[in-house]
């Protein structure tokens, strides 16, 4: 079901060439000052554990870069697809909540799988990536609350993204999906390296609250988003 993934480690994830910076003129301030597109992650911070600049990708968002910035997210039933161009050395991550709108309609929002994948791939190509050189690492799709097998959104999300990548002929070089554990994921877009930590089941409530808050902020054109 899942390929082995490295666990999160401060020493393993910190490239030796990177140094913490802060204040005017720092990389963190530069990242914060850039105007962002709709749906592009914009919550930048300094991660003390990894001693490096980071960006948090929230549900419905994506982020692309060619620097060894930590691109981070936390997943329950949602999916994060990390795509990397092996030649241009540019990569990105998205975070989507559902495969599609109720009734099968495609949703023009990063909350829905098809649009989330298109946003990510389009931005990668804009930054110099070639579709034919992309590889993928896929995370999430957990069943974070027991007893909800009949509406397993995590499984539906996982099936969607793997089918999409297969159709687009983007190889999945590693994945950590399904099961019952929420996950914390870090992606380094210049090297394509991904790190994942399976969180304790007791932390599922906090992850679920994040996903529900994102759904509540969303304007849904048809039906409502139900996350469990």
Residue 4 lies in a domain: no
Centroid of chain to Cα 173: 16
Q: What is the pLDDT, as a whole number, of residue 131?
A: 94
pTM value surpassing 0.85: no
Within a 13 Å sphere around the CA of 18, how many CA atoms are in the beta-carbon half?
A: 23
Domains contained in the chain, number: 1
Residue 226 lies in a domain: no
Residue 117 lies in a domain: yes
Residue 5 lies in a domain: no
Stretch (H or E) spanning 158: helix 153-167
Task: Please choose, from the candidates 5, 1, 2, 4, the residue with its C-alpha nearest in 3D space to the C-alpha of residue 186.
Answer: 5
Residue 40 lies in a domain: yes
Q: What distance in Å separates the CA atoms of residue 148 and residue 134, rounded to the nearest whole number?
A: 34
Domain holding 121, by residue range, is: 10-217
208/195: higher pLDDT: 195
Q: What is the pLDDT, as a whole number, of residue 202?
A: 61
**DSSP-assigned letter for residue 49:** T
Phi then psi for residue 51, to 5 deg, are: 55, 55
Active site residues: 78
- Among all chains, which residue has been given the structure tokens 């914009």? 42
Mean pLDDT value across residues 41-59: 94
The Cα angle at residue 127 between residues 191 and 133, in degrees rounded to 5: 60
Q: What distance in Å separates the CA atoms of residue 204 and residue 181, rounded to the nearest whole number?
A: 7
**Please, are residues 2 and 179 in contact by the beta-carbon 8 Å criterion?**
yes
**Please, are residues 153 and 98 in contact by the beta-carbon 8 Å criterion?**
yes
Residue 55 lies in a domain: yes
Per-residue pLDDT tens digits for 30-42: 999 999 999 999 9
- Give Cβ neighbours of residue 167 (< 8 Å, ≥ 6 apart): none
Give the model's confidence band at 22: pLDDT under 50 very low, under 70 low, under 90 confident, else very high.
low
Residue 37 lies in a domain: yes
Written as six digits, the tokens of 87 are 């030649």
Query: What percent of the chain is modeled with pLDDT above 90?
Result: 63
Give the model's confidence band at 69: pLDDT under 50 very low, under 70 low, under 90 confident, else very high.
very high
Residue 111 lies in a domain: yes
């Amino acid at each position: 079901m899942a390929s082995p993934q490295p666990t999160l480690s401060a020493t393993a994830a910190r490239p030796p060439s990177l140094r913490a910076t802060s204040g005017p003129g720092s990389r963190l301030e530069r990242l914060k000052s850039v105007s962002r597109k709709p749906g592009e992650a914009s919550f930048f911070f300094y991660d003390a554990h990894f001693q490096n600049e980071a960006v948090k990708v929230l549900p419905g968002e994506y982020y692309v870069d060619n620097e060894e910035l930590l691109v981070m997210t936390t997943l329950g039933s949602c999916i994060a697809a990390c795509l990397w161009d092996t030649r241009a050395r540019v990569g990105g991550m998205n975070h989507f909540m559902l495969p599609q709108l109720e009734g099968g309609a495609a949703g023009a929002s990063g909350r829905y799988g098809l649009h989330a994948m298109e946003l990510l791939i389009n931005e990668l190509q804009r930054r110099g990536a070639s579709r034919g050189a992309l590889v993928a690492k896929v995370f999430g799709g957990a069943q974070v609350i027991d007893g909800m097998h009949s509406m397993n959104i995590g499984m539906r999300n996982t099936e969607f993204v793997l089918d999409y990548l297969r159709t687009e002929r983007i190889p999945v070089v590693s994945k950590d999906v399904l099961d019952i554990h929420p996950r914390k994921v870090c992606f380094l877009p210049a090297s394509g390296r991904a790190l994942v930590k399976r969180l304790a089941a007791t932390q599922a409530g906090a992850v679920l609250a994040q996903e529900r808050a994102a759904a509540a902020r969303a304007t849904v054109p048809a039906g409502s988003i139900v996350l469990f």
